[in-house]
Amino acid sequence: MWLFWQKATFLFILGRKPIMRPSIYSCVGMPTPMPACRSWNKPLKLAAWTCRNFIVARLLMSEKIMEAASMAEGAVEFMDGHAVETLHQDYRTAYRIEETLLHDKSDEQELFLFKNNFFGTMLMLDGVTQLTTSDEPFYHEFITHLPLICHGAPKRMLVVGAGDGGVIREACRHKDLDHIDMVEIDEAVVRFSMEHLPSLSNGAFDDPRMNLVIADAAEYVRGYQGPAYDVVVVDSTDPFGPAAPLFEVAFYEDLRRIMSDDGILVTQCGNPFVQPAELELAGGRLKECFPIMSPVMITVPTYTGGQMSLGFACKNPKFGLPSRTKIAQKLASIGPSDSFLVLNEDVFLASFALPNYVRKAGFDPLR
C-alpha cells in the first residue's frame, strides 16, 4: 500500500476485523478535480505507442507523471455522513463514517482516519483510500509471501517502506527467515501505525530478527556493502514526489547488486487498468534491469477499480514458478489455511496469469 505523509513520509496499515453489514455505494460522473496524478493515461499511452525509441517514450511518461502530480488537487469530500474517495474523476466511492478517529489537514496533505461498519478502520490521504483493517491482507499476503515462497529458502530480506508493519508481520511467519532489514524514511510512520493501527504489525517490530533502519532507501541501497538479500519487497508510494527515486533504473540496478544470485524483488505497480502508465513505467524499467520480470495481478476491494499489479523480478534467468504441491506445503508450514484471508496454492498461481490488456502492454506471464 502507499501513502505520502507530512512532507516525506510513507505510511501503510493492517488489521483483522470481521466483515459486517456493508455500507458502501458508488457515485458516477461527479465533476471534481482528479488527485494524485491519475490524468496522464491517454497522453502517456500515445507517447509510448508512437515513439519508436522506448527510452524516449518512458522519459515522456516520467515528465507527464511529474506534471500531473504537481497539479493534483486531491482532498477528502464529505457527503451525507460519508467520506467520498476522489481518486478518479469519472466515478466516486463513498464510505459511511461511523466514527472519526483523526482528521488532520496541513499544507502538505489531508489525513483522515475513521471507522466504517463494513471495512473497519479506514485511512484516507488526500481523498484516496490507503488501507482498511478489513481488506489489507488482500495486499500484504501477496506482496510478502509470493517472493518468499518462490525463492524457496530465503534467509535475508529487505523491506523498503511498509512502515505500517503489515509486510513484516507476514514475513515473520516464515520461521526459516533469519534476518529482516526494514528501511523506512520516517520513524513517525512506525509510531503512528503502532498507536492507531497496532493490529497491522501485530508485534512484528519486536521480533528479534527485525532490524528497523530510519533512512532514505535509495541512499541506503546505494551504499550497502553487507550480505546479499534473498528477497526484497518495495512497498512504496506512486512514482512521483518523494517516492520517485524508488522507480528509477539506478535504484533497481542498486537492488540487483545487493541481491543474491537467486534473489527476488517485488514492488507495487498500481492499478494496471486505472493507472496503466505506472505499470508501463515501473515494469519497463524492471525489465531493463532483471532477466526475469512479470506483473502479478491481485485484487484489493477498496482500491479504485478493485485491481492491483505488483512487479515481480528475479536475478536468476532460469527461474520457474514452484509447483502447486510445493506451494501448498510451504503455506501449510507457515500456518493453517484459516490464518490466510485470501492466499492458497490456487490463488497463488492464478495471480501470475495476465489479462490480455496487460500482455498487450508488453508483459509476458511467468510459467
Q: What are the sequence ranges of the domains in the chain?
A: 24-31+72-132, 41-70, 137-359
Half-sphere exposure of 251 (CA within 13 A, CB side): 21
The answer to whether the CB of 74 falls within 8 A of the CB of 241 is: no
**What pLDDT score does 365 carry?**
92
**What pLDDT score does 134 carry?**
95
User: Residue 31 pLDDT more than 70?
Assistant: no
3-state secondary structure of 213: strand
| Domain 24-31+72-132 identical in fold to domain 137-359 | no
Beta bridge partners of 10: 4
**Nearest 5°: phi and psi at 231?**
-135, 135
Q: What mean pLDDT value characterizes the chain?
A: 81
Instruction: Round to whole Å and give the CA distance between 146 and 143.
Output: 6
What distances in angstroms separate CA 111 from CA 52, 83, 186, 203, 364, one per listed residue?
42, 12, 16, 25, 38
Q: 36-76: per-residue pLDDT in tens? A: 333 333 333 334 433 334 444 444 444 444 444 433 445 78
Question: Cell triple for residue 229?
Answer: 538479500
- Catalytic residue IDs: 235
Nearest one of 298, 309, 317 to 363, comparing CA atoms: 309
Nearest one of 294, 311, 279 to 353, comparing CA atoms: 294
Q: What is the DSSP letter of 228?
A: P
Please tell me the pTM assigned to this model: 0.79
**What pLDDT score does 18 carry?**
30
**What pLDDT score does 14 carry?**
36
CATH architecture of 24-31+72-132: Roll (2.30)
Between 306 and 156, the higher pLDDT residue:
156
- Is the domain spanning 137-359 CATH 3.40.50.2300? The answer is no
Instruction: Round to whole Å and give the CA distance between 230 and 90.
Output: 42
pLDDT confidence tier of residue 322, bands split at 50, 70 and 90: very high
Strands (E) across 106-228 are located at 110-116, 120-125, 128-132, 156-161, 179-184, 210-214
